[in-house]
Structure 1
Amino acid sequence: MEEIEVTSSSHSYKIIIGEKIRFRLKLFLPKEYSSIFIISDEMVAPLYIDEIRSNFTREKIFQTILPPGEQTKSIETFYSVHTAAINAGLDRNSLIIALGGGVVGDLAGFVAATYMRGIDYIQIPTTILAHDSSVGGKVAINHELGKNLIGSFYPPRAVIYDVETLQSLSAREIRSGYAELVKEALIADQNFFNTLINTDIQQVTAKELQSHLSLGIKIKADIVQEDERESGVRMYLNLGHTLGHALEAEMGYGKLTHGEAVAIGLLFTLHVSENMFSKQIAYKPLIEWLKENNYPLKLQRLDDNALLNKMKSDKKTVNSKIKMVLLDDIGSPLVKELSDQEILDSLHSFNRKLVTE
């Protein structure tokens, strides 16, 4: 078992990574609670919710099970979960447990942030992708015009990451999660990047996976502790997300997984960076690794102007100017303001490059 401590402006919390720790939740809670409210989805709940409930024999315990997928991060679902919490009689000493992937974690965290002006919650991630979203306290729901536009900064009380729950993941979910690990490596660690692009993610061992998760989480934890509210270096964690979020919104949430969209966004970032700084950085090794691991990489029949408009809905955009995280090299991110024409030219040349490779 490994523990990583994260300090936020409101409190410190631990990320605990290990095997079978879902059966020992009470050891990691900061206090006793009047009631427990588990939020999960229809894919995860049948696998693990009874095991989570078994930790609480005296407390009042409630649950709500949501449809899986990005479409669940909607204002309608957010409202319905609040209704369920009110009907269950949750008070300010209740605890919300987010059991699932990033969608459940984002939604449950935002419910916790807003229910009675804020109650405690913990994250129990069950996907590789959620190693990123469960750390740092960014919670949100989507708007039809853009992803994560309605939300808050609200850190959990703990993140309990039982790696045994990752054994049930599909190949697509594994791809999705590893895209975020690659993002963290590109931001901060050349050696980690080299390790990842020499990994067959469908054959990864439990020991290797736990090591990869630990490295990725430490990179993110270091950044969010330095810049909790995304006024500086935390923006670097959006590497690949300017186009990634635009693809999700334009194609319709759920057509690509978040990680699949981010993988394309990372390639686009490297395409723009290599053209801008006139040097090779990591485009070639990354696209070869993505192909070897069967990532979907085609943007056919997508309108560049529509993508541009979705990119301009990104939270980093100021005065309708797109601020994009680029790389001068692996481990050397920077934020650059790009004109609409620069984005359109880059999208056109990127799409042409993908088609020919």
Structure 2
Amino acid sequence: MTKEGSFKRAVRERAQATGLRYTEARAALEEGRRSPFAQTRPVEFAELRAHLEARYGVGITSIAPIDDDPETRPAGSWIGHYPWTLVVKREVGSPWIARVFSSAADTVGRVEGDAEILRFLAAHDFPAEKLAHDEPVSVFEGRGVIVTEYLEGGRPAQSPAVLHELASLLGRLHTLPVAGGAVARDGGAEEHDGAFFVGRPKQDLAAAMSFLVSVEDAVPPEGRETFEWLRDQVEQADNAEGLPEAFTHGNYHGWAAVGRPGDLSIVGWAGSGRGPRLPALAWLLTTAGEGDEENLDAAARGYREHVQLTDDELERLPDVLAMRPLWLACLDFREAARKGSTPAKDAGWIGWVANPEHAQRLAARATKSLRG
């Protein structure tokens, strides 16, 4: 590693040693408790339907979460996974997708930025969901709502060809110009909680810590060891800062694609913006599956068609690969703690993080193809 790289690592380690992520997560938790929107309010579909009909002058026959209907539910998902992504079936014309966002922060402005980004992508002929109206953003009960066109074809089954196409599109995305406006906003985080953890991928680590501190006082004695281990993992995690940046997607994997192989479009741009480019590729490689070398190689080759990773990115790939699994591991721990149980350390995403060989094997295999 270069002297500059060593200095950057030392700075990161110093920042982690301060416990800033913990204190930030605790502060966000306390702010959330004071917020009138701390508990997500359910969408009243009848009222939302009336709102959309009045705003756009359309008749709506039905409105429901996309994963309530077997015909529209993403393959492999479960009911309730996309509760605020709604299929709006109109009396005349093809269906729309309406996404309703939290109102605990300035999400209306953020959603306006989403619309600007979709216009940017269309101007660069990038295959993404299209806006359904010239004025696609509205405000419903204080929440930002955006309407886009419904895409036919559903989520494609994962295969080497699909992974190659997805990775090639990601590489192409990472070469687009970042001139300013919403395209240059901080992006790359998953945005599980749009109120407090919007922005760059490092916000996923702040969110992960928030999952833990939210149940800290309820962890039973037998769960303390796993809790403290996860907390240490978050503090020591690589947040990808200091690596090359680009306009990037916040949750790039198979569920981000809709359509038929060879003609896929990318959806879900709420987390997009400028940030380190490696986390999006790392998550795609992780979901490609460490047990399927053909899928992994196909994804790496697809990305390499447009982008050659730097030596620093390849060196840090194993640690960045673990970022999103760690986020999920902390989420799993929170959900278990809320139910009064303690997840096994060798189960699910916690087990993935507990075995660093997962990331090492993935990185070693992918690096061969990424180098060419």
TM-score, normalization by structure 1: 0.33
Higher strand share: 1
TM-score, normalization by structure 2: 0.32
